[in-house]
Amino acid sequence: MNIFSIESSCDETAVAVVRDGRVMLSDCISSQVDIHKIYGGVVPEIASRKHIEAIYPLADQALATAGVTRADIDAVAVTYAPGLIGAVLVGVNFAKAAAFALGKPLIPVHHIRGHIAANYLSHPELEPPFLCLVVSGGHTMLVDVADYTKMTILGGTRDDAAGECFDKIARVLGMPYPGGAALDRMSQGGDPTKYPLPRAKVDGNPLDLSFSGLKTAAINLIHNANQKDEPVDIPSLCAAVSEAVSSALVSRTELALRQTGRKTLAVAGGVAANSRIRAQVTELAQRMGVRLCLPELRYCGDNAAMIGAQGYYEFLAGNVADMTLNAYATKSLVGESL
């Protein structure tokens, strides 16, 4: 089954063709990062306009790269939530028009479910159940993936996502948006113990996290040093931030593995590209004797292939929308939890 899939929830316009949820035939991305860089973050109105400009030629490119024609498409999948509303609506309306014109089913996909499904592309043998650590620019959560479309959020951040924490600290250090990857590169060779940074503990659910205190502490440290004209050892500060984020994620992941008894751990989302997090979850998986699935770097950040992968399983579960599908308007399709 060939699924034509669309992702436009933030600042990447993406169109892909995916076969049977596992084989990427094409995965085309038009990134807007260079435009939003100027403002230090995503400007929603600009994002929506750029999606409209990019999506039509990208769709043609995705079909051509896959070596298929419109007649070979069996269904259309699209990210319907969450995201910037104007941005999501561009993809949803394009997908609706495409599905209607082709006379094929329209499949709504939750963006986070898509990130999780990126692992099906990188690990063709991976099947639920498994535990997934989801770490992106907007979300940080531990998800129990009982089945392809049955997922429970076990815990998550109470405030900032891990990616938000990396990006805002990177911005104060003068790194261009989105600074997570630059901060990761800068941290290589730094001393993670040089700057003591807080590890937040939250009341209630032991699997919950908080990153806003870490973000504020790191930013205050930089501002205080600047005011006193003192130098900051930037590699060491970046290493300390990465270590604080990673250790918080790894300790919750270890607890969730013990609680659920799952024998497979997957990681998903843009922050899954982080070198320290990858190294530390690898060490955790070895220590606990669980199998680890990390997406290839190309499938960590936003892409449409992951939407096509999850779309296949949503289709098999009967989660097909009618042409009244609107962004955010189909919560019942994804169940209570995710």
Residues forming contacts to ligand KG4 in the complex (CB under 6 A) are: 10, 115, 136-138, 163, 166-167, 178, 180-181, 184, 269-271, 273-274, 301-302
State the minimum distance, in angstroms, from the CB of residue 192 to ligand KG4: 14
182 touches 170 (CB < 8 A): yes
Identify any residues that bridge with 188 across adjacent strands, giving them in sequence order.
none
Q: Indicate the SS3 state at residue 146.
A: strand
Residue 167 or 302 having the CB closest to Zn ion = 302
Closer residue to Zn ion, CB minimum distance, 89 or 173: 89
Token pair of 35 as six digits: 């435009």
Burial class for 118, CB neighbours closer than 10 Å (0-12, 13-18, 19+): buried
Nearest distance from C-beta of residue 244 to ligand KG4, angstroms: 13
Residue 181's binding partner, choosing from ligand KG4, Zn ion, none, with beta-carbon cut-off 5 to 8 A by kind?
ligand KG4
Q: Binding pattern to Zn ion, positions 123-142, x when CB under 5 A?
A: -------------x------
Determine, following the binding rule CB under 5 A, whether residue 12 of this chain makes contact with Zn ion: no
Among 254, 257, 273, residue whose Cα is nearest residue 131: 257
Judged by beta carbon distances under 5 to 8 A according to partner kind, the member of Zn ion, ligand KG4, none in contact with residue 105 is none
Which residue among 160, 167, 208, 302 contacts Zn ion (CB under 5 A)?
302
Q: Which is nearer to ligand KG4, 208 or 302 (CB)?
A: 302
How near is the Cβ of 215 to Zn ion at its closest, in Å? 19
Cβ 42 vs Cβ 316: under 8 Å? no
For tokens 């050892």, name the residue.
233
Is 184 a residue that touches Zn ion (CB under 5 A)?
A: no
How far apart, in whole angstroms, are the C-alpha atoms of residue 232 and residue 220? Answer: 12
Angle between the N-to-C axes of helices 180-187 and 234-260, in degrees from 0 to 180, rounded to the nearest 10: 110
Taking the complex as a whole, the smallest distance from the CB of residue 184 to ligand KG4 amounts, in Å, to 4
Q: Which amino acid is at 282?
A: T
In angstroms, give the least distance from the CB of 318 to ligand KG4.
26
The helix or strand, by DSSP H or E, that contains position 112, with its residue range, turns out to be helix 111-122
Min dist. Cβ of residue 269 to Zn ion (A): 6
How far does Cα 252 stand from its chain's mean position? 18
Whichever of 72 and 86 has its CB closer to ligand KG4, that residue is: 86
Residues that bind Zn ion (CB under 5 A): 136, 302
